[in-house]
A = this chain, B = another copy of it.
Amino acid sequence: MPKGQPLSVPDDGLSTRQRRNRPLVMVHTGPGKGKSTAAFGLAMRAWNQGWDIGVFQFVKSAKWKIGEQNVMERLGQLHAETGEGGPVEWHKMGSGWSWSRKGGTEEDHAADAAEGWAEIKRRLADERHDLYLLDEFTYPIKWGWVDAADVAETLAARPGRQHVVITGRDADPRIIEVADLVTEMGKVKHPMDAGQKGQRGIEW
C-alpha cells in the first residue's frame, strides 16, 4: 500500500495535484491468482467514489466471474435506485456483445473480440466511462485478434480523465510500456498443485 512521498519528482511541468489526478492505465498480469479479483476490488472502490464503470469481459465463461458480475450489477442497480455510488455496465463477450444487433458469432471469437475493442475505442473517444475494466483483454491481444499497437496508441492518446485496467497473463510489452501501473501476480503456492479443483465462493 503506497503512502507518503514518491521516490522522485519528475520534471514534467505538472503540479502534484495534476499528477495525482492523472488518469491511469493499470495492468494486472502474471501467472498467479488475483488479477481479475484485484481489478474488481478496484471497481468496488471506484463505485464508492461515484464513478461510471464499464466492464468488458473478453473471455467467455459460464460461472467464473458470476459473483463479481452479480455484485457489480447489484451495485449499479443500487445507484439507479438510490443514487449511491456510480453506474455500472457489464458487457460480456460470448455470442457477440450486448450492444451489437448482429446476434453473435459463436464461431468467430476473433471478430467478436475486434468488435469489443472497436466499441471500447468509440467509448474512450466519447469519454463514456470513468473506469474501464478490460477483463482478460491480454488474451485477444496475444492471439492477434486485437492489435497491440492500436491498443497502446489509443490508450496513450485517450482524452479526459478515463482510467483503464487490463487483466490477464502475458501482457504485451507495448501495453506495459503505456501503462502507469503494472502488477505481476506470481504464483507461490496453489491448491490445484495439490490436486484441488476450483471451488464455489473462492474461484467464482
List the interface of chain A (C-beta within 8 A of B): 1-3, 6-10, 12, 16, 19-22, 24, 26-30, 32-42, 44-49, 51, 64, 66-68, 70-71, 74-75, 78, 84-85, 130-131, 136, 163, 176, 179-204
* Choice from B6, B8, B194 contacting A10 with Cβ under 8 Å: B194
Q: How many chain copies?
A: 2
Instruction: Give every chain B residue within 8 A of A2 (Cβ-Cβ).
Output: 33, 190, 192, 198, 203
Contact residues of A: prevailing secondary structure? mixed
5 A-B pairs in the complex with CB atoms less than 8 angstroms apart: A1-B35, A28-B34, A34-B41, A45-B202, A48-B67
* Distance, CA A20 to CA B194, complexed state (A): 11
Contact A180:B163 (CB < 8 A) given known A34-B34, A41-B41: no
Closest CB of chain B to A58's CB: distance in Å?
12
Instruction: Give every chain B residue within 8 A of A176 (Cβ-Cβ).
Output: 188-189
Closest CB of chain B to A195's CB: distance in Å?
4
Whether the pair A71, B67 counts as a contact (CB closer than 8 A) is: no
Instruction: Give every chain B residue within 8 A of A136 (Cβ-Cβ).
Output: 1
